[in-house]
Amino acid sequence: MNPYLSIDTLRNCLEGVIPAGVATCSRDLIPNVTYVSQVMYVDQEHIALSFQFFNKTRENILANPLATVLMVDPDTAARYRLKARYLRTETQGPLFERMKARLAGIASHEGLVGVFRLRGTDVYRILDIEAVPGAELPRQLPGRAILPALRQCSERLNHCVSLEDLFDNLLDALDRNLGLSHSMLLMLDEPGAKLYVVASRGYPSSGIGAEIPLGVGVIGIAAREQVSIRIMFTAAEYAYTRAVREQAIAEGLVDALEHVISLPGLNEPSSQMAIPLPGIRGLIGVLYTESQQQCRFSYDLEDALVTLCAQAGLAIQGLQLGDELGTAPALPDCLCAEDSPDDASPDSLRVEYHDRDHSVFIDGDYLIKGVAGAVLWRILSDYSERGRTDFSNRELRLDSRLGLPEISDNLEARLILLTRRLQERSPHLRIEKTGRGRFRLLLQRPLVLVPMNSCLINPPVASVDRA
């Protein structure tokens, strides 16, 4: 193999902008040449070709596993000839899903939606790469330098003293240092097989608390397969807002959509990328970014975000553990809770709780559901019954009434989610952090609790005036 050429340095040829030519031979050495929609980088020694409708190519490669691939750099028109040996075909799993998503974008770009159907992902070992002589355009000047930007992002995460601080700094760093102005961070709800938004940037509404099931859209597939997915062109079937609604309709949950927080996002993103956040025990979340510009995200940017997300995942778990054990760094004074204002409204604040899905409504408006809803109802009940306003993460973790699993359930992330939803939806009710693993309930109106238990026709009403 040419020591000056490697598939790492030629990844720009694999973006699918210009189809690659693939030459194979039958067992009796009769050649066949066809175009392939997608050549995907696997690692330094392997590539993957899309298996769609190559009847003759398929027949040849099974009889004679050697192939030659002609690749073209879309920026310079430089051509490269790659020799490879067929190893296997994958019809499911991370590599298959990555190629399927990228192929959907290419099909949309070429006006061939419904024509391209990925039957499998053919994996090849690279044997040799050579440059093909010919006219070339000058190579363009490089854009934003990735490594210095990655270093700056990493340094920002190193100085985070709380989970909320880390969420915000991660997305701010993407915007400031990498120019990724539309992004969101989602945490995993493993028991519920879904992800929920805890932070977002660049959208008219934050979408805090919005959910997406595993396996739905580019975000859900990246989470389910625990692999980064990058799409370079508009792919309608991978637009998560549409995918969530279509699943709700298919499952007969249309009426429930009015109680679902809308996902933020661009209507028709031209580039999408979802990167898993790995933890010590497996997936803990997904970082998602999108753009209206085609081919916005490169292989190098994907590598940088994979590296950053690995650091962020460990940092999130470290901060969660610190809150749980009471060993987190001391918080700045500005994060401590303040006293409730004196101009409290005399009107009662009506809070309804539905035990079936732990959903909470404030003055008739939907707020939150799931674990965050159960936590809010628990602390409001303690306030109503005993006048408590100060709570700790640890006591919630140990409260059998909440039925929380072990620390991997991201209780601290759910408290941040609850805090932000209250800030957006209920100015008279909020919770604020007061220290390491501690928070305080603040009320500005008298409280009326209405438990809407599924087995009760006339639910009891608890009223308390301590505002």
Which of 243-247, 266-270, 305-309, 434-438 comes out lowest in average pLDDT?
A: 243-247
Span 99-105, average pLDDT:
77
Q: What is the pLDDT of residues 283-294, one digit of tens each?
A: 999 999 999 998
Contacts of 414 (CB under 8 A, 6+ apart): 187, 370, 371, 372, 375
CATH code at 7-132 = 2.30.110.10
Span 445-460, average pLDDT:
70
d(CA 257, CA 320): 32
pLDDT at 403: 65
Q: What is the pLDDT of residues 315-335, one digit of tens each?
A: 998 888 766 655 544 444 433
Q: What is the pLDDT of residues 127-161, one digit of tens each?
A: 999 999 988 888 776 667 889 999 999 999 998 88
With b for 16 or more beta-carbon neighbours within 10 A and e for fewer, the 259-293 pattern comes to ebbebbbbeebbbbbbbbbbbeeebbbbbbbbbee
C-alpha 53: how far from chain center: 32
Instruction: State which CATH number among 1.10.1740, 3.40.50, 1.10.10, 1.20.950 fits the domain covering 341-464.
Output: 1.10.10
Examine the pLDDT at 400 and tell me if it is beyond 80: no
CB 283 within 8 A of CB 223: yes
Span 95-113, average pLDDT:
69
Q: What is the pLDDT of residues 209-236, one digit of tens each?
A: 888 888 888 888 899 989 998 888 777 6
Write down the mean pLDDT value for the chain. Answer: 82
d(CA 252, CA 461): 32
Tokens of 334: 């500005």
305 falls in which pLDDT band (50, 70, 90)? Answer: very high
Span 169-179, average pLDDT:
94
Which of 195-199, 257-261, 400-404 comes out lowest in average pLDDT?
A: 257-261
- CATH H-level superfamily of 147-325: GAF domain (3.30.450.40)
3 state DSSP class of 336: coil
pLDDT at 332: 45
Q: Pick the residue with more confidence: 461 or 254?
A: 461
Span 55-74, average pLDDT:
90
Work out whether strand 271-279 and strand 66-72 pair parallel, antiparallel, or are unpaired: unpaired
Domain spans of the chain, in order of start? 7-132, 147-325, 341-464
CB 118 within 8 A of CB 134: no
pLDDT at 242: 53
What is the helix, strand, coil percentage profile of the chain, to 5?
35, 30, 35
3 state DSSP class of 146: helix
